[in-house]
Amino acid sequence: MRPFTALFAANTGAHAADQLALAALPLTAALVFGAGPGMIGALVAAQGSAWLICSLPAGVLVDRASRRGLLLGAMAVAVAGLGVALAGALWGVLALLGLGAAIASAGTVLFALTVGALVPVLVPGTGMAAANARLEFFRALATLAAPLAVGLLAERGVVAAAYAIALLAALAAAAVAARLPVDAPAAAVAQRPHLAVLLREGAGFVAGQPLLRAIFLCAVFWNFAFFAWLAGFVPFALTVLRLEPAGIGLAQAGYGAGLLLGALAVAPILARVPPRVVLVAGPTLSLIAPLLLLAGPPGLLGAGLAQMSVGFGPMLWLVAQTSIRQALTPAALQGRVAATMQVAQFGVRPLGALAGGFLAAAYGPQAAIWLVAAGFGVSLAVAVVSPLSRLGAMPVRV
């Protein structure tokens, strides 16, 4: 098996496990434990907290350790976390469910950072956008399938089985990652500067590069809004749209369908239009999603179209910005720069989940969806006023 093929297959399994756990958590909390919007928001925040806590240290590891070993270690952590979450769901222990979800996410953090740093190593510079699109296509496929599977399991009263399936997917990802060639650490380790120094090098590079700085800020507001969306969507669908669990799973699958279409379309689009078009279109389509949910067609149709909108545009944006970052970042900084960006992309998610859950509990699910619209609107404003809206061509790889 070729190295990129093995990386691609392992990435697919890891994201299948992650998406199953992500889709299962709010439904497990609502149907098994009878949790309300506030508790669902807290659990989603716990699941997302790993991205805030673990991203920067994981980025240092990616730059200074064997990346094959990191992939295997990341999946070992994910397997342990999914096992804890499964036990919590089966035994009726809510704390174990949240703890296991957070541990599993920590493994996903390290895995995703390592994959991102390996792409520039395994793929020629001109092929990075296509390689990233291929990776994201199958992540999108997992995102599409996971809510459908979880919704069907929930309809049959066995939503906890989603964690068992996720555990098997993580084990499969580890088995494939073990077939990658053994590699040396990415950077020389003769000198071991303090962790803070290593982290400042990555953050300083992002802060000093105008395109990366704009991507960072755009991602902060988008991801805050996205996790408010996750925390508010299920309560909105249950109480305002009055959907059944299977219908909620079907509506959530619209997000995966949007991601899938975006992953298929992004390479041809980037070959024909300047990247500035994609970098503004992503936040624009995101903003349409909550407005469509609040004012568009009722019921399952409106929910599915909203989820599709919040999937399609951001997928275009994700592949474009990832390829830009990989091209602009020196090899020795790939892990730390990616970790800095990942903090922006995922570290604010617990805050968004808590805010969305609080508003939904205190003022109704509609309030959470309006918060989502505000966050996506600020993300769009950042893209419009920044150098992203003036980027005429993809940068040349460093």
Q: Which residue's structure tokens are 């505000």?
A: 374
Instruction: Give one DSSP letter per residue of 57-94, joined into a string.
Output: HHHHHHHHS-HHHHHHHHHHHHHHHHHHHHHHHHHT-H
Positive or negative CA dihedral for 84, 90, 96, 101? positive
What pLDDT is recorded for position 241? 83
Instruction: Give one DSSP letter per residue of 91-128, joined into a string.
Output: HT-HHHHHHHHHHHHHHHHHHHHHHHHHHHHHS-GGGH
End-to-end CA distance of the chain: 28
| Separation CA 72–CA 67 (nearest Å) | 9
Residue in 161, 177, 40 with CA at minimum distance from that of residue 107: 177
What pLDDT is recorded for position 278? 93
| Separation CA 55–CA 32 (nearest Å) | 31
**Residues in CB range of 196: below 8 A, 6 or more apart:** none
Instruction: Give per-10-residue mean pLDDT for the chain (398 aa).
Output: 84 93 90 84 81 83 88 96 95 92 93 88 76 83 82 88 96 93 60 65 88 93 90 84 79 83 89 92 93 78 88 91 88 84 74 86 90 95 94 80
Give the number of residues written for the chain.
Answer: 398
**Residues in CB range of 116: below 8 A, 6 or more apart:** 322, 326, 334, 338
For residue 393, count other CB atoms closer than 10 A to its CB: 8
| Separation CA 384–CA 377 (nearest Å) | 11
What pLDDT is recorded for position 193? 58
Q: Just give the CATH number of 3-174+193-390.
A: 1.20.1250.20
Q: Give the global pTM.
A: 0.74
Q: Where are the domains of the chain?
A: 3-174+193-390
